[in-house]
Structure 1
Amino acid sequence: MKKITTILILLLVSALLAGTVSAGTISRDVGSGAAVFVYEDIAVDDTSSTSLIQYSDGPNPQALNVISGKDGEFQLTEEVVNGMYGTYYYKGNPKDSGEYVTIWYPEISLKAELTTGKDGMSTSGDSIDGKSINKNTNVSFKIGSPQVAPTLGCSAKLIFTTPSGGKTHSFGLHEFSLIRMNRAETITSPAAPGRNAEAGTWTVQAQYVTQPFKDYAKKSNTITFDVRSTSLTLTAVKDSVVRNNPFVVTIQGDSLAYYLIYLDGASETDVNPTLQQYQDGWQYDDEDHIGGAVFMTDASGNRNVQYNTIAETTDKTYTIKVEALKKYEYEPDPTDYDTTKVKVEKGAVTISATGDGSYFIGAEIKLTGTNTDSSDVYLFITGPNLATNGLALKTVGGTNEPAKDNTQPVSVKTDNTWEYKWNTENCGLDTGAYTIYAASRLTNGKSSSNAFLNYSYEATDNEKEYGTLLPGPGEGYYGYYAVKLSDAEYATVSVNLKTPFIFAAPSGTVIAKGDKVYIRGTAEGDPSKLQLYIFGPNKFVYDSITVEDDGSYEKKIDIGSDWASNQYYVVIEHPMYNNKIDVQVDDPQDPTELFIYNVDGYSIQSSFIVAGPGKLQGANAADALTKMIDSPNIDDKYTKLTFTVSEPWIKLVNPGDKAVGMKFTLSGTTNLAVDDQILVDVTSSSFSAVDKTQSSPTSGVSRTTKVVAGEGGDNTWSVEIDTTNWNLDEYTIKVSGIEVDISTSTTFNVVEKLPDTPTPTATGATAVPTGTTATATATPATPGFGAFVALAGLGAVALLVLRRT
């Protein structure tokens, strides 16, 4: 008998062991199209089937995975499925629409969310994973089984791990050891940890109870959360804040409970922080407390409350207090409260000006800075004989409003920076030192007393309530206060305004016909343009000049071959402070008359003719123009200069005979402009055409060079010549202008050897130009252009820059 018992025990153990290999002990009958799961034993409706085959897609499906069976029965172990889930055919294949089953993995997942409804079917969507909840916070658990539960119906359980490491199926007053599931997601009844729950970190997982998944399928993901005490607390996100910025405090208490929050000990004489309107959880304002209102916590027992501050908020430390409301009475419970403190501090203002602090009137001054005290910056300026307390900077040169009437503040950007570009061209200020103030509030300039701005109307109840206006002198009247400077945060910067000047110089004082001259100089004060006038015999040029950002300018003037050989007078006009050329012309395209208006802007003060009958000539016209600009009715300045136009010429110094192989320099002088190109051709006098099969017996060179400024007044040019391998012959040197049609020539010999006693070489010989005789001629002086006339008479016509004083 004992032996039989032993055999029965061994058979039972063998059967149990066999059950661990074959996932299920009883096969489940399934038909075509059924959903089956890893770890199941199944029996398909074709008992002759011996394999489940997964095929590839496409017109010629290939076997991807084969699961062997017998008589239509298959064990779907994890090893044979091998992670290749999907459709398997047990009869036929995809091409002939065979019979199949779909193999899934028995997944199970878990979510834990705050509950919003007592039925446990409504959740807020707020996960508690990685977060904290109170002991009375209701939580609903969502168990996901997207394939198993809808197909088979099954059961699961929740396994909680306590902060001490214990395992349990209970959570608060609820037990979750057997949860029936017949849908893709099952939501449990709401449960709270309970007042006796252990505080600390908890975890929870879901696991199948139904076989065979209980023993083989993986558990769900793990949810981790902290359980904390339900004692009421109030915390501030920041301990301090710069005024004009908000601050937030957080109520932490019971779930979906009501709490009163207010500024404890606040004074009505202060400008206190105010609650942000229409916040989440807000129920109603409490008029018995400054900054007071009732809020309801969310399902997790939390509520953020925002207070706002403005530039005028009193800078001090505020105590914020929260009190629980008694249940069913909605009265504060003085025994259940908490407080926190937030310090409201003044911000700071900075200001700086680009550059070195010294600016020409008419220039743009860029002012920049920061402001952490308010959202606007009020700029005003003080200086010699300005309004005692300063003028609003944006109105300087216009209405010149006092600082207290400034209605155009500069907005502060989100990064607390600000910027203002002050264009001084019409500022109406004289030269001198000025101070610019940047204040965080509208101030009465630099005054030490407030200034009431009476708008003479009665404010509405809404304006009174929200403090957009302040009471003024006289019953029923309201307006804004411009506070004393010490009530605002401010900074200053000094600027020195000075008079712009203009300077000019020509690229040369004697210019060849057909060449060019450059007028170069500097015009300070950032003018938009300059005006150019050139006066000469039967010649008047009227043109504008563009000024670069650095104040430099350059104007190219082409001297046509039709310009007479004579002296020309140049005036360049600067628009000065108003950035306007005050000298007018009757027709900008074909001017015949120059004039300026009287201060009325209509009648003409003075004028003269520049072209046609009755015109002023040369220096007289230039002199009349400068006297016109000297008028006290206009602010323009000028500079003047002169240059002489002459026939072009080039001189060449004959080099004398040279021994073959020598290197020497060809040079000469010219009145062509600096940087003009000159072509130098040296050719053999015996040059003649030869047959193309023969080598040419001639030699020589062709070079270009630039004209350079000479030390004695005339410009110079030069080229280097190398006679190595040249033929013994007479050579012709021809020097020609490229931009200007002028040339000259001479000859020299290349010999085998120079005599022992060299013969004197011609020096300073002037070659006769071909085509045109280009002899330098003295230009007679023309009186009437101030100091230039005297210089011209001395034959040293150069440059003079005159400034108005």
Structure 2
Amino acid sequence: MILRRGNPMSSTNRHVGGVFLICLVAVLFVASISAPAGARGAAISDVQPGDTIFVYEEGLDLSALRNAATGNPVTALQRFTDDNTAKGLIAEIPVPDDTDFDLIDASVGGNTGLYYAYSQADGLTGNRVYVRYPEVSIEAVLASPNHADRITGITIPVGTPIALRVVSPFVGTDYIAGTTHASVDIVVTTPGGAELTSFGGTNLANLPVTSPQFYTDDPGVGGPIVLDRLEEGAYQMQARWRTPQGFADSAADSNIITFSVGDRIGVDVTVVPTTPPTTAVPTTVPVTTAPTITTPPQTTTETPVTTEPTTVPVTTEPTPVPLSLFPVVGALCLAVLAVGRR
């Protein structure tokens, strides 16, 4: 009976080879998921499949959207109903040169969304991009660490530090390639009409839009805005595109925030209602002292005139009283006569 001994190294080699293959796949997988994904290619103009491109961008290179097998140039970007290429075509953007393409507003016409690359030679290439308008908005909040406290519509004490929340959801994530990004200026319009980008002790110019949302007092961005020692009147704040130039020239700027410093209009308004109740109206009533000229007082003066009956008792001649003296006088006369006779 002959026993055959197998080669132990063969099974060991197979085991080592399997382990090595598994490790290699794992390393490649980890490397693939850990590699940073850029919004664009090496340059901001290098558009890759799945990127977002913005209206008013200039000099875009769409050659990466070509059919890889043929390399024929892209001649149009097409949008379909429900983003389904089997359904109807609803919008088309012509591409005269896919290596130097300007995305103008007139070509988009408000039809933003998912677009498929199309070639006259190949038809749909199988690659697609998103088309959006660059948007930015601002909101006033208290300075860090109280960013959750909105101050729009309320009154705050003079000297309170505030900040602005700047929101640009797509530009802040998709318009980035290396160190290239968009930027905005926060422009403050004073009551006299002057436009400033340095205000409240903070430089608000050329703020980088490198995230969907940031605050003007974030580290490395600007700082808190202190509303103190300011000219009285109404102020306005607005975020305006600074870069890229296409955004600065044509894209819509943000909403406007208005606030007042030392607002005295309210005081004037409170004074105005106090002027109508002037006391001149009541004084005119006493001026009409006609009631004092009423004739009843004159009739009272006539009543003393009618009291002349008092003269009647005076004229009721007490002369009869002297008449009572005649007997006395007569008696005296008689006495005189009698003495005379004697």
Which TM-score applies when normalising by structure 1? 0.23
Letter in 1 for 2:231: E
Whether the 8 Å contact between 1:133 and 1:226 is mirrored in structure 2 is no
Give the Cα–Cα distance (whole angstroms) in 2 for the partners of residues 186 and 133 of structure 1: 22
Letter in 1 for 2:249: D
Q: Go from structure 1 to structure 2 and tell me whether the alpha carbon gap of 1:76 and 1:59 turns closer, same or farther (over 3 Å shift).
A: closer
Letter in 1 for 2:240: Q
Whether the 8 Å contact between 2:171 and 2:209 is mirrored in structure 1 is no
Q: Go from structure 1 to structure 2 and tell me whether the alpha carbon gap of 1:192 and 1:133 turns closer, same or farther (over 3 Å shift).
A: farther
Give the Cα–Cα distance (whole angstroms) in 1 for the partners of residues 198 and 230 of structure 2: 11
Give the Cα–Cα distance (whole angstroms) in 1 for the partners of residues 85 and 98 of structure 2: 27
Give the Cα–Cα distance (whole angstroms) in 2 for the partners of residues 171 and 186 of structure 1: 18
Deviations 1:622-643 (CA, angstroms, capped at 9, x unpaired): xxxxxxxxxxxxxxxxxxxxxx
Give the Cα–Cα distance (whole angstroms) in 2 for the partners of residues 176 and 59 of structure 1: 46
- Match of 1:30, SS state, is coil
Whether the 8 Å contact between 1:115 and 1:124 is mirrored in structure 2 is no
Whether the 8 Å contact between 2:159 and 2:228 is mirrored in structure 1 is yes
Give the Cα–Cα distance (whole angstroms) in 2 for the partners of residues 143 and 192 of structure 1: 14
Letter in 1 for 2:150: D
Deviations 1:34-88 (CA, angstroms, capped at 9, x unpaired): 1100011322112511111111125732111111113424321011000000111
- Match of 1:101, SS state, is strand
Give the Cα–Cα distance (whole angstroms) in 1 for the partners of residues 85 and 95 of structure 2: 27
Q: Is 2:38 the counterpart of 1:35?
A: no
What is residue 124 of structure 1 aligned with on the other side?
148
Q: Go from structure 1 to structure 2 and tell me whether the alpha carbon gap of 1:227 and 1:132 turns closer, same or farther (over 3 Å shift).
A: farther
Q: Go from structure 1 to structure 2 and tell me whether the alpha carbon gap of 1:163 and 1:198 turns closer, same or farther (over 3 Å shift).
A: same
Q: Go from structure 1 to structure 2 and tell me whether the alpha carbon gap of 1:27 and 1:178 turns closer, same or farther (over 3 Å shift).
A: closer
Indicate the structure (1 or 2) with the bigger Cα radius of gyration: 2
Aligned partner of 2:248 among 186, 208, 214: 214
Gaps of 5+ in 2: 1-42, 67-71, 218-222, 264-342
What is residue 294 of structure 1 aligned with on the other side?
none
Deviations 1:700-751 (CA, angstroms, capped at 9, x unpaired): xxxxxxxxxxxxxxxxxxxxxxxxxxxxxxxxxxxxxxxxxxxxxxxxxxxx
Aligned partner of 2:129 among 101, 108, 113: 101
Whether the 8 Å contact between 2:237 and 2:258 is mirrored in structure 1 is yes
Higher relative contact order (Cα pairs below 8 Å, separated by 6+ residues): 2
Letter in 1 for 2:147: T
Give the Cα–Cα distance (whole angstroms) in 1 for the partners of residues 91 and 257 of structure 2: 36
**Superposition map of 1:461-472 within 5 A:** none
Q: Is 2:177 the counterpart of 1:144?
A: no
Give the Cα–Cα distance (whole angstroms) in 2 for the partners of residues 164 and 102 of structure 1: 43
Letter in 1 for 2:56: Y
**Superposition map of 1:241-252 within 5 A:** none
Deviations 1:216-248 (CA, angstroms, capped at 9, x unpaired): 11110011112239xxxxxxxxxxxxxxxxxxx
- Match of 1:80, SS state, is helix
- Match of 1:213, SS state, is helix
Letter in 2 for 1:139: I
Q: Is 2:74 the counterpart of 1:54?
A: no
Q: Go from structure 1 to structure 2 and tell me whether the alpha carbon gap of 1:136 and 1:70 turns closer, same or farther (over 3 Å shift).
A: same
Letter in 2 for 1:198: E
Per the TM alignment, residue 215 of structure 1 is displaced from its structure 2 partner at its CA by 1.1
What is residue 586 of structure 1 aligned with on the other side?
none
Letter in 1 for 2:149: G
What is residue 229 of structure 2 aligned with on the other side?
196
What is residue 471 of structure 1 aligned with on the other side?
none
Give the Cα–Cα distance (whole angstroms) in 1 for the partners of residues 162 and 44 of structure 2: 39
Q: Go from structure 1 to structure 2 and tell me whether the alpha carbon gap of 1:225 and 1:194 turns closer, same or farther (over 3 Å shift).
A: closer
**Superposition map of 1:249-260 within 5 A:** none
Return the structure number with greater strand share. 1
Aligned partner of 1:85 among 94, 109, 112: 112
**Superposition map of 1:76-475 within 5 A:** 76-91=103-118, 98-117=126-145, 122-128=146-152, 130-151=153-174, 152=176, 153-189=181-217, 190-211=223-244, 212-228=246-262
Q: Go from structure 1 to structure 2 and tell me whether the alpha carbon gap of 1:114 and 1:181 turns closer, same or farther (over 3 Å shift).
A: same
Per the TM alignment, residue 96 of structure 1 is displaced from its structure 2 partner at its CA by 7.9
- Match of 1:149, SS state, is helix
Aligned length: 197
Per the TM alignment, residue 97 of structure 1 is displaced from its structure 2 partner at its CA by 8.3
4+ long deviations beyond 6 Å:
none
Whether the 8 Å contact between 1:52 and 1:67 is mirrored in structure 2 is yes
Q: Go from structure 1 to structure 2 and tell me whether the alpha carbon gap of 1:124 and 1:88 turns closer, same or farther (over 3 Å shift).
A: closer
Whether the 8 Å contact between 2:75 and 2:118 is mirrored in structure 1 is no
Letter in 1 for 2:199: F
Whether the 8 Å contact between 1:38 and 1:77 is mirrored in structure 2 is yes
Deviations 1:605-652 (CA, angstroms, capped at 9, x unpaired): xxxxxxxxxxxxxxxxxxxxxxxxxxxxxxxxxxxxxxxxxxxxxxxx
Letter in 2 for 1:98: G
Give the Cα–Cα distance (whole angstroms) in 1 for the partners of residues 170 and 252 of structure 2: 15
Letter in 1 for 2:81: S
**Superposition map of 1:675-754 within 5 A:** none
Q: Is 2:81 the counterpart of 1:75?
A: no
Give the Cα–Cα distance (whole angstroms) in 2 for the partners of residues 173 and 214 of structure 1: 25
Identity %, equivalent residues: 28
Give the root-mean-square deviation of aligned CA atoms.
Answer: 2.5
Gaps of 5+ in 1: 1-25, 230-805
Whether the 8 Å contact between 1:193 and 1:227 is mirrored in structure 2 is no
- Match of 1:196, SS state, is coil
Q: Go from structure 1 to structure 2 and tell me whether the alpha carbon gap of 1:176 and 1:59 turns closer, same or farther (over 3 Å shift).
A: closer
Deviations 1:737-793 (CA, angstroms, capped at 9, x unpaired): xxxxxxxxxxxxxxxxxxxxxxxxxxxxxxxxxxxxxxxxxxxxxxxxxxxxxxxxx
Letter in 1 for 2:189: T
Whether the 8 Å contact between 1:172 and 1:194 is mirrored in structure 2 is yes
Whether the 8 Å contact between 2:116 and 2:124 is mirrored in structure 1 is no
Whether the 8 Å contact between 1:110 and 1:142 is mirrored in structure 2 is yes
Letter in 2 for 1:34: D
